[in-house]
A and B are shown apart, each in its own frame.
Chain A
Amino acid sequence: MYKDIYNIYETEPTTTISWDMIQRYVSQCSSKEETRIIEMRMNDDALFAEAMEGFMSDDSISNKDKIEKAIQNIENNIYKGYIARQSNESNTKTPIRWLAIAACILVVLGLGFLINDTIQKNKNQEAKVLTINSTDTSSLNQLSNNSNVTNTIPNDDLKKDDEIHSDTTTKKAQASNTHSTKTVAINMDNSQENLLPTLSETTAVYDKDKIAMVEKVEEEAAVSRDVNDVISEETKPTSPAKNVGVNSNAPHINIENRDNKKDDVFTKNDSYVAESTSGHTVGDGIDIYNNKQYLDAISVFSEILSYDKNNMQAITFRARAYARQGECNKAANDMDRIPIDNINYPETEWIIAQCYLSNNQIKKAKALLQVIVNRNNIYSAPAKDALEAIK
């Protein structure tokens, strides 16, 4: 019997109730069907029921036309509001989109520069990775022993140094009192025959362990010097440097004492892509240099520099090769092209100083050694020793 009441559960109205229908209902002009539809909806739909209460209030009935207008306004305003909001949204989204694109481009460019910079740095660092020489205390003691030979430097030789290279080096020294190179290893010639001060070139490394080791060695060397203050005054016979034409009367700086050591040995680096016409790269040149084939190394670096004149690696290693070869002036010329803040600069400077000493260009050697001392870098201590030895 009451099964018809079941329509109270019909929650989704299927008939659209228009404003006209509502108006007719409110003014009691609606048909029986329309009345039924509206009242059924009022029972099912709380929102509609409350709205109908509003429409059936005295205020609404007395303002029938106004209400109709208001409803139209609301619908229009909602549409306008939607349009305005949509355009606002698109207006605000557009610059954000462009900003996002610009940001992406900047990020990509930044990454590109970063990667490029990193690659360049790696190239430089790999070139600078030097294996530290095995430095033993005995060789350091030998340095102390040999420090007494300064008297053997003939005064005549000092006069020979008429080419003053110190001007440029002094200027550079003023510019750089600090340098990133951390360590120095003083390597001595193991040969018992060579009793002249034998200051092997030092090696810059970035390995902290090696730095620690070198510092320890330096400390030991300092102790050894104290102990050996009263070492024999006798000037021991000297032997000429192996590859450098040396005045036998001059103090020898043996720069070729590499038989038992691996001094500034560079590994071939693939990143040195600059190739000579013969197909040699800077890395090849460094390999050749490490094999002590200095003339070959010079030709390779010269060839590379003929078309890549500002290749710092090539300039640096050609300078070193010249120095090893005893061509100190050429080495100095190359060194002048190296920026003072170049990571390779101090070591090259030190090698050239050794070259001057080997060539008995004492004046130049002194000037350069003094510059190195003033730089207060890792080569300053051995340079000071060398200066004292010369005096």
Chain B
Amino acid sequence: MSKSKSIVYSDQELIRLFRESEDSKYLGMMYQRYAMNMFGVCMKYIKNVDDSQDAVMEIFEKLHHDIKRHDIANFKSWILTVTRNHCLMILRKNGLQVEYKDEIEFEYGNSISDFDARNEAEAKEKKLNKMDICVQKLNDIQRLCIDMFYLQGFSYKEIEVKTQLSYKEVKTHIQNGKLNLKKCIESNV
């Protein structure tokens, strides 16, 4: 454990090492990297600290086997899906109504994952050239939020105050605007 602490492995490297050696330490490193975020996701759905803690531990047990069986291209996206599904399963098991995110947020979640999965550095220049055009194509609110967040450097809270939108709306507009930008740039490249 101490030996591996000095080395910073990527997620893919850790997966590969775990599959090759079946040594749990690589999985442990991966969990320590994402445990907090997984707990946060569980808190979002389950809304109970103890249950969320248990859920994270259950996922840990489950993933020990699942990680060997699945072809994982992007661990971060994959663990999010797994965590989310596990929490929803717990909710269903407890007979609670599953409170799904609104459509926009769901779309956002997946789109970010896609974004992460495809880093097209070589097309950077082309994309930048297209950026101006694509920003103009966004709807007003999205363009406004994107402009305020990325160009003017306002925080969500500041945008919330300036636009009279809620924190959640600001966040959603920025993220959906980002998704639409991506789609626009991809389609024109």
Contact = CB atoms under 8 A, between A and B. Distances in A.
Contacts of B94: none
B112 A45 contact: yes
Nearest to B41: A50
A55 B25 contact: no
A78 B35 contact: yes
A39 B52 contact: no
Contact of B76 (A2, A45, A70): A45
B38 interface: yes
A44 B47 contact: no
A86 interface: yes
Nearest to B114: A46
B174 A78 contact: no
Contacts of B27: 82
Contacts of B24: 81-82, 85-86, 89
A59 B48 contact: yes
Binding site of A, secondary structure by majority: helix, strand, loop or mixed? helix
Contacts of A337: none
A300 B37 CA distance: 92
A67 B47 CA distance: 11
A343 interface: no
Interface in B56-103: 56-57, 60-61, 64, 76-77, 79-80, 83-84
Interface in A201-239: none
Contacts of B149: 39, 43
A47 B124 contact: no
A32 B158 CA distance: 11
A2 B131 contact: yes
Contacts of B115: 8-9, 11, 44
Report the contact-size class of chain A (Cβ under 8 Å from the partner).
Answer: 35 or more
A66 B49 CA distance: 7
Interface in B120-140: 120, 124, 127-128, 131-132, 135
Nearest to B87: A54
B87 to A, nearest CB: 10
Nearest to A50: B41
B28 A4 contact: no
B42 A75 contact: no
A73 B53 contact: yes
A50 B36 contact: no
A9 B109 contact: no
A39 B135 contact: no
A71 B32 contact: no
Interface in B2-49: 22-25, 27-28, 31-32, 34-45, 47-49
Contact of A78 (B28, B47, B124, B155): B28
A236 to B, nearest CB: 91
Contacts of B178: 8, 43
B80 A55 contact: no
B23 A50 contact: no
A46 B77 contact: yes
B61 to A, nearest CB: 8
Contacts of A43: 112, 149, 174-175, 178
A5 B171 contact: no
Given A71-B35, A78-B31, A5 B52 contact: no
A60 B41 CA distance: 11
Contacts of B45: 54
B119 interface: yes
A75 B150 CA distance: 34
Contacts of B36: 19, 22, 51, 71, 74-75
Contacts of A66: 49
Contact of B150 (A5, A51, A55, A59): A5
B183 interface: no
A208 to B, nearest CB: 55
Interface string A134-147: 00000000000000
A6 interface: yes
A77 to B, nearest CB: 6
Interface string B154-167: 01110000000000
A44 B119 CA distance: 12
Nearest to B156: A39
Given A36-B153, A81-B61, A82-B27, 8 more contacts: A8-B182, A45-B116, A48-B40, A49-B112, A50-B80, A51-B41, A54-B42, A67-B49
> What 9 pairs across the A-B complex have the smallest Cβ distances?
A51-B40, A54-B44, A54-B43, A82-B28, A46-B112, A54-B40, A51-B37, A47-B80, A85-B24
28 contacts: A2-B131, A2-B151, A3-B128, A5-B131, A7-B150, A8-B182, A11-B116, A32-B155, A36-B153, A39-B149, A46-B113, A46-B116, A51-B38, A52-B40, A54-B41, A54-B45, A57-B44, A57-B47, A63-B49, A67-B49, A71-B36, A73-B53, A75-B32, A77-B57, A78-B28, A79-B32, A81-B61, A89-B24
